Amino acid sequence: PVASFEAFAPVNIALCKYWGKRNAALNLPVNDSLSVSLGNKGSTTRVAFLSDAQADEVYLNGSAVNRDSGFYKKVVAHIDLFRGLVPGCLRVDTVNDVATGAGLASSASGFAALTKALSGLYGLGLGDEQLSVLARLGSGSACRSVYDGFVRWHKGVRADGMDSFAKPLPESWPELRVGVLTLTGEEKKTGSREGMQRTVDSALLYGSWPEQAERDIARLEHAIVQRDFTLLGATAEQNAMAMHATMLASWPPLLYWQPESVVALQKVWQLREEGVPVYATMDAGPNVKLLFEANSTDDLAQVFPEMDIIVPFL
């Protein structure tokens, strides 16, 4: 072991979503999912041994995290996975490049960065698949943030989840852009953990979701190999809309959209009618993410001047 260790992991945006668990304690998903990591946007986490401390200290963007918070408890539970090796408390410092709760999954990059940092601190030298399994235990989508580029999370079939981890795809797409529209930075009321459980438990429509995801993953992999942007964008948008339909079909209904989300989606659909190839995706929050290629940047910047443009393949 070393005294401290720092690691970075990127945020990822799912083009085929993870929604629904077959095992909630282990974050084992019902379906495979496929994402793209957002280059140098993500979390940087430093972990260090504390001498003579009674509890772990967790800092997020420079501020101490309250020990009663759910976030603190999740971080401590993650450290506990490793602590048997060298007992003692740690200080964890995470800095996110993206607003927490703004619809970019900072928990995914955060748990992936924490897992890499802990592997380094305890001198484990874990391979990527082992890091992905461990990151998954912190937050399901974190298993994809272990890698850059396009990533597929294989759901696995084992009850212990040891075959449920992500692997990178070899293809890159330098022209691909992700535009983030931060419509509201408000923290969501229902987190994805609770939201997906409610959907699985109460939405009959969820019965069609595994088939939707399976079809969409196949289309996305084909689109990535063929560099077919229309197929990539259309598949990602339909997949996101289908996921949100299952949420709305839950009881009580789950609607992450705000009026601003609908306005943004309508602008995207209008732009497509005008011949601009742009597609949208949304996660468990009100913000809309745009998918486009570099040569559409000027058209989009006119309609969405506040958009944050991210280059996934640097």
Query: What residues line the site for ligand DP6 (CB under 6 A)?
Result: 14, 17-19, 27, 33, 105, 107-108, 139-141, 192-193, 283-284
Could you give the C-alpha distances from 212 to 8, 28, 155, 217, 270, in angstroms and in order?
A: 33, 18, 15, 9, 25
Please give the backbone phi and psi of residue 96, each rounded to the nearest 5 degrees, phi first: -100, 140
d(CA 17, CA 246): 12
Which position's Cβ is nearest ligand DP6? 140
Tokens of 173: 């797409």
Nearer to ligand DP6, 37 or 296 (CB): 37
Strands 165-168 and 176-181: unpaired
Nearer to ligand DP6, 188 or 272 (CB): 188
Nearer to ligand DP6, 27 or 94 (CB): 27
Q: Return contacts of 129-133, CB within 8 angstroms, 24+ apart.
A: 129/165, 129/167, 130/165, 132/165, 132/166, 132/167, 133/161, 133/162, 133/164, 133/165
Nearer to ligand DP6, 18 or 292 (CB): 18
How near is the Cβ of 198 to ligand DP6 at its closest, in Å?
Answer: 12
d(CA 237, CA 47): 38
Nearer to ligand DP6, 192 or 296 (CB): 192
How near is the Cβ of 269 to ligand DP6 at its closest, in Å?
Answer: 21
Paired with 46 in beta bridges are 6, 93
How near is the Cβ of 177 to ligand DP6 at its closest, in Å?
Answer: 19
Nearer to ligand DP6, 91 or 154 (CB): 154
Nearer to ligand DP6, 5 or 32 (CB): 32
How near is the Cβ of 251 to ligand DP6 at its closest, in Å?
Answer: 19
H helical segments located in the chain:
70-83, 106-121, 128-138, 192-202, 209-226, 229-248, 259-273, 297-303
d(CA 23, CA 182): 32
Could you give the C-alpha distances from 4 to 9, 62, 101, 248, in angstroms and in order?
A: 17, 17, 28, 45
How near is the Cβ of 82 to ligand DP6 at its closest, in Å?
Answer: 19
Please give the backbone phi and psi of residue 56, each rounded to the nearest 5 degrees, phi first: -65, 150
How near is the Cβ of 65 to ligand DP6 at its closest, in Å?
Answer: 17
How near is the Cβ of 263 to ligand DP6 at its closest, in Å?
Answer: 21
